[in-house]
Amino acid sequence: MTTLAIQFRFSPNPEIDRLLDACGTMVMEAVSWALDNNKTATHTIVKELYPSFRERFPGLHSAWVQKSARTAAAIVHAFRRRKRRGREEKDRPEMRKAWVYVDKSVFRWEWDGIHLTIRISVRPHDENPIVLRFRPHGKYRRLVEAWARGECGFGEPTLSRTMLIIPLKFPDVPAYEPRSVMGIDSNERSLDGFEIGGASWTLDTSWGAAKCADHDRRIRRGTKGKQNPKAKKKIIRKHSHRRKNRVRELWHGVACVLIWMALNANNALVLEKLQGLKARIAASMPKRLRQRLLNHWSIRTFHAILKHKARVYGVPLIEIDPRGTSSTCPVCGGSLRGRVELTCPSCGLSGNRHILAAWNIARRGQAKLPIGGKGRAEEGIALFHRLQSPRWGQGVVGAPGRPLPAQAGSGQLPS
């Protein structure tokens, strides 16, 4: 199940402000009670606090009391998770902006092809609900139309003072039976691929590492000489956020290219399983090289994005053990010699180190997958076109905003 969130902003509304004031009070009281009593289950919080909340807020629909408890449970869970990971120093969570989950029983929507009308009931049998009208365009219009056609369901909307977030849940496309495999060798500044029975290719991804290094330089230059910790933290937060967004945008675009290539050729994608890579790097490499790889090589982010998109569009994807892929001959299994251009002393095969590694990855993936079926990538291609505009959008397909079909398979990233 793939979830895409669509966000709509609106002007401040007095009735929404009054609703969120009441819900915010209930949420913070529920958070305090949950932490004091070490209870985090929504049912337990509702059972304990529901009678008092109903007595204090008799004009609200009972769904708002229950969803306030649900919101409090979510805040407590997120706070404890940050605490376990060492990212939280405070003893209590703070609710900087009031928000609450919206129960489906008080949420109604209508789509007339142009406007999306949302009605939210505040009171029981509310004859004058809150009415919000939006005119979605671009990627949101396609998603709302899919919602109206019944191609997806929706989860719990989230309401704040100026924003409504609606999660749309799309069923995953069943993975087709591949005709061949495409091995992908993940390197610091490139992705190299090899298709069994096809061609090899190289995508230059050095832009991501260069952008990470550039933002690191900006952080060092911006914090140099500053004594105020808050000022330093503000600069670090700003550049870290920009760096993360730009690098993820690059990886979203690369993943779109690879998914498109796999769908058109009915291929399966094969990746190296790189869990624990950073620990191995930290233990075996010099300090400068270790810092560069750990700080500027976001390959696990790319793998997570690619696996998500493969699941959405029904592209088979497996991971293999990367051990020996760059030092083993894919033809005879002998040991390769050399550094960049490798040669096999047994069979005489020679070639680029990364391409030969991608060849080995493809062969190991081929051994794990049933190859030779008819392949049914049509559903994935149809979904790709339904959720894809002529220019890359955000959401599932993410993007730098460049046409995909003209670039797919060219071996070059759009400039």
pLDDT interval class at 143 (50, 70, 90): confident
Residue 311 φ then ψ, to 5°: -65, -40
pLDDT of residue 379: 67
**Helices 299-313 & 378-387 angle (0-180, nearest 10):** 110
Find the domain containing 64 and state its range. Answer: 12-101
- On whether both 97 and 126 belong to a single domain, the answer is no
pLDDT interval class at 402 (50, 70, 90): very low
Residue 409 placed within a domain: no
- On whether both 115 and 223 belong to a single domain, the answer is no
pLDDT interval class at 397 (50, 70, 90): very low
Higher-pLDDT residue of 108 and 275 is 108
- On whether both 209 and 159 belong to a single domain, the answer is no
> Which of the listed residues 49, 74, 101 is the one where a domain comes to its end?
101
pLDDT interval class at 396 (50, 70, 90): very low
- CATH number of the domain within which 267 lies: 3.30.420
Question: Among 228-237, 386-395, 398-407, which range has the highest average pLDDT?
Answer: 228-237
pLDDT > 70 in the chain, percent: 89
CA distance 255 to 384: 13
- On whether both 227 and 340 belong to a single domain, the answer is yes
- On whether both 134 and 240 belong to a single domain, the answer is no
pLDDT of residue 242: 92
Residue 189, both tokens = 């500044």
Residue 175 placed within a domain: no
pLDDT of residue 372: 54
pLDDT interval class at 375 (50, 70, 90): low
- On whether both 146 and 205 belong to a single domain, the answer is no
pLDDT tens digits, one per residue of 250-261: 999 899 899 988
**Global confidence as pTM:** 0.72
Residue 97 placed within a domain: yes
Q: Which helix (H) or strand (E) holds 207?
A: helix 206-223
pLDDT tens digits, one per residue of 167-199: 998 887 788 888 889 999 998 888 999 988 778
- On whether both 138 and 191 belong to a single domain, the answer is no
pLDDT of residue 415: 34
> Which of the listed residues 74, 101, 128 is the one where a domain comes to its end?
101
pLDDT of residue 409: 36
Strands 267-272 and 180-186: parallel
CA distance 98 to 193: 48
pLDDT tens digits, one per residue of 17-37: 999 999 999 999 999 999 999
Q: How many domains does the chain have?
A: 3
pLDDT of residue 280: 74
- On whether both 245 and 309 belong to a single domain, the answer is yes
pLDDT of residue 87: 75
What's the Cα-to-Cα distance from 158 to each of 10, 103, 128, 154, 409, rounded to whole Å? 13, 9, 21, 12, 40
pLDDT of residue 412: 37
Residue 114 placed within a domain: yes
Q: What is the average per-residue pLDDT within 321-332?
A: 86
pLDDT interval class at 384 (50, 70, 90): low
pLDDT of residue 388: 56
- On whether both 208 and 97 belong to a single domain, the answer is no
Residue 386, both tokens = 């339904």
Residue 28 placed within a domain: yes
- On whether both 245 and 362 belong to a single domain, the answer is yes
Residue 407 placed within a domain: no
pLDDT tens digits, one per residue of 205-228: 989 888 888 988 999 899 988 888
- On whether both 248 and 291 belong to a single domain, the answer is yes
Q: Which helix (H) or strand (E) holds 387?
A: helix 378-387
Exposed/middle/buried for residue 9 (C-beta within 10 Å: 0-12, 13-18, 19+): exposed
Q: Is the pLDDT of residue 15 over 90?
A: yes
- On whether both 78 and 138 belong to a single domain, the answer is no
Residue 117 placed within a domain: yes
Residue 206, both tokens = 């050095």
Mean pLDDT of the chain, nearest integer: 83
CA distance 379 to 111: 26
Q: Is the pLDDT of residue 413 over 70?
A: no
Residue 4 placed within a domain: no
